[in-house]
């Protein structure tokens, strides 16, 4: 087996979120009265991919930490300055009239014959396709080629693009917001990269194995931290340097999660970042933190209107919980305990097409 640290892996997410790139969205979703934007999937899936790569031991590069969109030429320039071993882009597909749902479904991985490493890109795409198949249940559409896609043809390294579903398919559109589906897509991409470079995949890391980090720390563990903070809504550069920006983001995270806000990432902060508490907590109106954010994402993916996914269990989230409980045959008390968690955590399902 090869040593993971020998390889430098790039992760890229298509389009932007703040503001959303025009046109890159689902049809209006019933029950909630809004579209899901493509980058609501692409960005977290990319960070889940980078997190999986980091725990496996790869060095990583985040091509686009910004929330907004940037040009393809900027992305290509950034990649080509890094000397990457490969770059993986996360995206979501569309078919037909983007304002209407259709039957097109499944995930597909693309590469370009125009890339200077075309054969290596082809092999990478097949490995990533196989990796995705081990992690997600949607139909595997295999591997195909694309032309005139800069992040595939113009980068100076093997490159693949994962279209993990169709946002014009009702059920796959709902999956875009599901944090567990996002994680599985990221893990699948990393499995493919591991297969491509003959590296042993690492599927988990325990919070108590992580080092204590503070301002002035550096290295891959800091990148791991920065990816998690970006996953939860920040937009810092994943540079492996624990500076003032990272410290401020840590303090905010600690305050939001009821931790001592000292800016030091120790066992308690790691446990909350990785969501590795012994069990899912009891939540009710007034609760806040990463588990509330996770609950809101799961409810929204099942088309229950929670308002903003902000980690704050307010009146809107409480009403969404009650609606979900009533429609799931549970006591509609707005309190999220073991029975509600058991119903809300599975990937998929939720409200049907009216």
Q: DSSP string of 249-267?
A: HHHHHHHHTTS--SS-B-H
Which pLDDT belongs to residue 96? 84
User: What is 4-197's CATH number?
Assistant: 3.40.630.40
**Residue 13 CB: number of other CB atoms within 10 A?**
25
Q: How far apart are CA 6 and CA 83, in angstroms?
A: 12
* Helix or strand holding residue 171 (H, E): helix 170-175
Task: Provide the phi-psi class of 134: left if phi over 0, else alpha when psi is between -120 and 50, else beta.
Answer: alpha
Q: Where are the alpha helices (DSSP H) in 176-314?
A: 179-197, 220-231, 244-256, 267-273, 290-301
- Asked if the domains 4-197 and 290-344 are classified in one and the same CATH topology, the answer is no
Within 13 Å and on the Cβ side, how many CA atoms surround 8?
A: 12
Which pLDDT belongs to residue 31? 98
Q: Which class does domain 290-344 fall in?
A: mainly alpha
Residue 19, preceding peptide bond in cis (omega within 30° of 0): yes
Which pLDDT belongs to residue 97? 80
Domain 207-273: homologous superfamily in CATH: PGBD-like superfamily/PGBD (1.10.101.10)
Are the CB atoms for 212 and 221 separated by under 8 Å?
A: no
Instruction: With CA atoms as reference, report the closest residue to 84 among 62, 56, 69.
Output: 62
Which pLDDT belongs to residue 214? 98
Q: Kindly report the CA angle at 85 between 111 and 140, in degrees rounded to 5?
A: 35
Are the CB atoms for 316 and 306 separated by under 8 Å?
A: yes
Residues of the chain with pLDDT under 50: none
Q: Give phi and psi for 90, each to the nearest 5.
A: -105, 135
Instruction: With CA atoms as reference, report the closest residue to 13 among 191, 198, 176.
Output: 176
Are the CB atoms for 12 and 75 separated by under 8 Å?
A: yes
Q: How far apart are CA 42 and CA 46, in angstroms?
A: 6
Domain chopping of the chain, boundaries:
4-197, 207-273, 290-344
- The packing angle between helices 179-197 and 290-301, to 10°, is 100
Strands 86-93 and 159-166: parallel
User: Per residue in 4-18, pLDDT tens?
Assistant: 999 999 999 999 988
Which pLDDT belongs to residue 84? 98
Which pLDDT belongs to residue 32? 97
User: pTM of this prediction?
Assistant: 0.98
Burial category of 68 from C-beta neighbours within 10 Å (exposed 0-12, middle 13-18, buried 19 and up): middle
Which pLDDT belongs to residue 229? 98
Q: What end-to-end distance do the CA atoms of the chain give, in Å? A: 51
Distance of CA 85 to the CA centre of its chain: 21
Distance of CA 335 to the CA centre of its chain: 27
Residues 6 or more apart whose Cβ sits within 8 Å of residue 24: 14, 15, 37, 38, 39
Which pLDDT belongs to residue 98? 75
Which pLDDT belongs to residue 22? 87
Are the CB atoms for 35 and 28 separated by under 8 Å?
A: yes
Which pLDDT belongs to residue 284? 98
């Amino acid at each position: 087996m090869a040593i993971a640290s020998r390889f430098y892996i790039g992760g890229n997410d298509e389009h932007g979120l703040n503001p959303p790139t025009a046109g890159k969205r689902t049809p209006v979703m019933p029950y909630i009265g809004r579209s899901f934007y493509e980058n609501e999937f692409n960005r977290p899936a990319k960070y889940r991919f980078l997190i999986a790569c980091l725990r496996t031991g790869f060095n990583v590069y985040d091509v686009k930490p910004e929330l907004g969109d940037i040009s393809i030429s900027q992305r290509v320039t950034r990649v080509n300055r890094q000397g990457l071993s490969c770059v993986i882009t996360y995206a979501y597909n569309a078919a037909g009239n983007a304002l209407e749902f259709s039957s097109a479904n499944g995930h597909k991985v693309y590469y370009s014959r125009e890339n200077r490493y075309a054969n290596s890109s082809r092999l990478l795409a097949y490995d990533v396709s196989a990796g995705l198949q081990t992690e997600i249940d949607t139909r595997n559409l295999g591997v195909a080629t694309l032309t005139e896609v800069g992040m595939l043809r113009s980068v100076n390294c093997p490159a693949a693009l994962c279209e993990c579903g169709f946002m014009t398919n009702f059920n796959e559109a709902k999956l875009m917001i599901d944090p567990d589906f996002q994680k599985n897509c990221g893990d699948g991409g990393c499995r493919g990269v591991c297969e491509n470079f003959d590296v042993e995949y690492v599927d988990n890391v325990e919070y108590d194995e992580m080092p204590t980090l503070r301002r002035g720390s550096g290295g891959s563990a800091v990148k791991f931290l920065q990816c998690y903070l970006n996953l939860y809504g920040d937009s810092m550069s994943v540079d492996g340097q624990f500076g003032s920006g990272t410290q401020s983001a840590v303090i905010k995270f600690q305050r939001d999660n009821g931790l001592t806000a000292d800016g030091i990432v120790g066992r308690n902060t790691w446990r909350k970042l990785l969501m590795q508490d012994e069990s899912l907590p009891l939540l009710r109106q007034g609760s806040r933190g990463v588990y509330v954010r996770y609950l809101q994402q799961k409810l929204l993916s099942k088309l229950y209107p929670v308002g903003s996914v902000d980690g704050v269990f307010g009146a809107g989230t409480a009403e969404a919980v009650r609606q979900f409980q009533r429609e799931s045959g549970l006591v509609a008390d707005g309190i999220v305990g073991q029975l509600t968690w058991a119903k809300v955590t599975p990937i998929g399902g939720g409200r049907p097409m009216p």
